[in-house]
């Protein structure tokens, strides 16, 4: 690690020695090795979702197609907005020295050239979830050195960034004027949610849109069919007419279309009327559908399944995107458990990515970024779980299965009480036991077994003298016989007054 001094510089460092000793051969990025515009920046708009390039073949082409596709699929776009807004709404805080904290808080709050933290996180989230190329941040430093403090954080368009595979110069960025910039590791931060393990695909991931693309294509076809079917000018069918000539039908259609255009009717038109038809003719028609829904298709079930897939792709819970419908999605308790489990997936993964990026690429040593998000639903569930465990311990105490110390130990292991409280309660118990034992001894009561053990433990270091037998103390004349007291009351009459030398 380099010494960054006290200027607030970052602490991240790429060790060239570690790279040299690695068995992985990384390409050496140079300013001349910029991507070809003709091959890498091919602007191609897919005419249908099924025409999207296969994953891993041409990353830039596929990402452009994904960008053209997802605005046309409203369910995914709505889910993307939900997740992006959630990420931007997470609370965060900085811990560390006062001056450094104030400086870097200003840097983050005014990120993206003054647009702010919310703008930065929303754009980062959209690229992260829709681009296999991942998301990118530019780190603007006071000077172009790794030890210089960061003075600005900007979002870089994923469509204008290329991974080089070189850890020292990991990214090439193309600005809107067409100029390429080879960025050093201290000038850029990359993000990948589910990175691909293929070594040749440098920095490429499996984004959320890729993970649900097939389902999105199917539902887009359904919504397109419904739009055309209800639009009033649906042509995906063949009508076989009898009793009237085709010319008469065509003339009537042309007349109705002209009237609709004159009246400004785009989707609906007046009913078509044809006169002068032979009254004796057998008028009728048969329809051959060129596009229709699959047999036994249910739009409701299809949407439920699709929202489930969206939740899985975003590593979130169904309830983050839609209320739980009736049906076989589990009991309310199961739903709560699933919601709790989902908190450890998508949200936790995003928080980890951002925290790691800020702490190790933006902030210096001595300043720490962390999310301070309060999940009221999670707190409520945790409180219910603690209450259930407390009731169980109470039953075990009343039935004698557990003692109070054992119950406290269980509560400590489960996190229901803190270590400080556990030690405080143990100290109070010892103090109360000592006071109770002292009161019994003062009152002449015989301590119980436990108190006798405490007493012996406290006196084990003392040296005890054997009892002295006086001249009038009873003695046994014969072995095995109990010595008789010298007085009828059962007490010895030997006193200091009668034998002063005995004391």
Confidence (pLDDT) at 331: 52
Here the tokens at position 251 are 């003339």
Residue 396 burial by Cβ neighbours in a 10 Å radius (0-12, 13-18, 19+): middle
- Could you read off the pLDDT tens digit of each residue along the chain, which spans 503 residues? 334 444 444 445 666 666 666 666 667 666 556 565 444 333 343 344 457 898 988 899 999 999 999 998 888 999 999 999 999 999 999 998 788 899 999 999 999 999 999 999 999 999 999 999 999 999 999 999 998 999 999 999 999 999 999 999 999 999 988 899 999 999 999 999 999 999 889 999 999 999 999 888 888 888 777 777 766 556 666 666 766 777 777 777 788 778 777 777 666 666 666 666 666 666 766 666 656 666 677 878 888 888 889 999 998 888 888 877 655 545 555 555 555 555 557 788 999 999 999 999 999 988 999 998 655 666 777 888 888 999 999 998 889 888 988 988 989 998 888 888 888 888 888 888 888 888 777 776 655 555 555 555 555 544 444 444 444 444 444 444 454 555 545 445 444 444 555 44
CA angle 108, 112, 114 (to 5 degrees): 80
Which of 351, 342, 350 lies closest to 310 in space, CA to CA?
Answer: 342
Note the maximum CA span of the chain. 155
Determine the 3-state secondary structure of 367 from DSSP.
strand
Residue 186: which residues within 8 A CB-CB, separation 6 or more? Answer: 10, 12, 139, 141, 145, 146, 361
On whether the CB atoms of residues 207 and 130 are closer than 8 A, the answer is yes
Here the tokens at position 491 are 């007490």
Determine the 3-state secondary structure of 132 from DSSP.
coil
Domain borders along the chain are 1-233+298-373, 237-289, 377-456
Whole-angstrom distance, CA of residue 439 vs CA of residue 447: 10
> How many angstroms from the chain centroid is the CA of residue 436?
52
Residue 69 burial by Cβ neighbours in a 10 Å radius (0-12, 13-18, 19+): buried
HSE, side-chain direction, 13 A CA sphere, residue 74? 6
On whether the CB atoms of residues 455 and 447 are closer than 8 A, the answer is yes
Residue 476: which residues within 8 A CB-CB, separation 6 or more? Answer: 482, 483
Residues paired with residue 94 on neighbouring β-strands, in sequence order: 369
Which of 187, 189, 185 lies closest to 158 in space, CA to CA?
Answer: 189
Whole-angstrom distance, CA of residue 499 vs CA of residue 496: 5
On whether the CB atoms of residues 176 and 106 are closer than 8 A, the answer is no
Here the tokens at position 348 are 């936790």
On whether the CB atoms of residues 473 and 492 are closer than 8 A, the answer is yes
HSE, side-chain direction, 13 A CA sphere, residue 362? 29
CA-based radius of gyration for the chain: 41
E strand map for 110-195: 135-141, 150-156, 161-163, 171-174, 180-183, 188-191
Q: Kindly write down the DSSP assignment for every residue of 385-426, as one continuous string.
A: HHHHHHHHHHHHHHHTSS-HHHHHHHHHHHTSS-HHHHHHHH
Confidence (pLDDT) at 456: 57
Confidence (pLDDT) at 346: 79
Strand arrangement of the beta sheet that strand 180-183 belongs to: 161-163, 171-174, 180-183
Residue 267: which residues within 8 A CB-CB, separation 6 or more? Answer: 230, 231, 232, 233
Whole-angstrom distance, CA of residue 427 vs CA of residue 433: 10
Whole-angstrom distance, CA of residue 449 vs CA of residue 2: 65
Confidence (pLDDT) at 275: 63
Which of 186, 142, 192, 152 lies closest to 168 in space, CA to CA?
Answer: 186
User: How close are the terminal C-alpha atoms of the chain, in Å?
Assistant: 80
Whole-angstrom distance, CA of residue 66 vs CA of residue 74: 14
Residue 460: which residues within 8 A CB-CB, separation 6 or more? Answer: none
Confidence (pLDDT) at 289: 64
Confidence (pLDDT) at 451: 53
Note the pTM of the prediction, 2 decimals: 0.63
Here the tokens at position 262 are 């004159």
Residue 16: which residues within 8 A CB-CB, separation 6 or more? Answer: 168
């Amino acid at each position: 690690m380099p010494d960054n001094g006290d200027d607030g510089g970052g602490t991240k460092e790429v060790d060239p020695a570690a790279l040299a000793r690695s068995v992985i051969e990384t390409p050496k990025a140079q300013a001349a090795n910029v991507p070809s515009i003709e091959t890498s920046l091919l602007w191609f708009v897919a005419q249908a979702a099924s025409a999207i390039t296969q994953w891993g073949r041409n990353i830039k082409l596929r990402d452009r197609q994904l960008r053209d596709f997802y605005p046309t699929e409203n369910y995914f776009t709505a889910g993307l907005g939900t997740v992006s807004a959630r990420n931007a709404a997470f609370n965060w805080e900085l811990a560390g020295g006062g001056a450094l904290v104030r400086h870097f808080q200003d840097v983050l709050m005014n990120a993206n050239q003054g647009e702010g933290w919310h703008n930065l996180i929303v754009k980062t989230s959209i690229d992260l979830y829709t681009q296999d190329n991942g998301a990118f941040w530019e780190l603007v430093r006071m000077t172009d050195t790794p030890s210089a403090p960061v003075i600005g954080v900007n979002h870089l368009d994923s469509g204008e960034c290329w991974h080089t595979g070189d850890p020292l110069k990991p990214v090439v960025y193309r600005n809107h004027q067409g100029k390429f910039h080879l960025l050093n590791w201290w000038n850029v931060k990359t993000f990948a949610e589910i990175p691909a393990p293929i070594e040749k695909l440098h920095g490429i991931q499996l984004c959320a849109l890729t993970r649900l693309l097939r389902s999105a294509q199917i539902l887009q076809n359904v919504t397109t069919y419904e739009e055309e079917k209800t639009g009033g000018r649906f042509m995906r069918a063949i009508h076989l007419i009898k009793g009237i000539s085709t010319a008469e039908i065509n003339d009537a259609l042309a007349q109705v279309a002209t009237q609709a255009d004159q009246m400004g009717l785009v989707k609906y038109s007046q009913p078509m009327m044809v006169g002068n038809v032979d009254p004796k003719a057998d008028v009728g028609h048969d329809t051959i559908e060129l596009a229709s829904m699959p047999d036994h298709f249910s739009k409701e079930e299809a949407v439920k399944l699709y929202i489930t897939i969206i939740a899985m792709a975003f590593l979130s819970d169904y309830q983050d995107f839609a209320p739980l419908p009736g049906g076989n999605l589990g009991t309310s308790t199961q739903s709560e458990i699933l919601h709790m489990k989902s908190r450890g997936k998508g949200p936790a993964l995003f928080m980890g990515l951002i925290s790691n990026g800020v702490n190790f690429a933006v902030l210096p040593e001595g300043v720490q970024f962390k999310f301070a998000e309060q999940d009221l639903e999670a707190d409520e569930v945790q409180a219910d779980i603690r209450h259930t465990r407390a009731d169980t311990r109470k039953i075990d105490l009343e039935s004698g299965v557990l003692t109070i110390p054992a119950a406290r130990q269980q509560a400590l292991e489960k996190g229901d009480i803190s270590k400080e409280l556990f030690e405080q309660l143990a100290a109070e118990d010892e103090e109360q036991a000592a006071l109770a034992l002292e009161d019994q001894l003062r009152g002449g009561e015989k301590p119980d077994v436990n108190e006798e053990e405490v007493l012996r433990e406290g006196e084990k270091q003392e040296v005890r003298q054997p009892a002295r037998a006086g001249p009038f103390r009873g003695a046994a004349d014969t072995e095995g016989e109990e010595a008789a007291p010298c007085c009828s009351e059962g007490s010895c009459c030997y006193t200091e007054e009668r034998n002063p030398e005995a004391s």
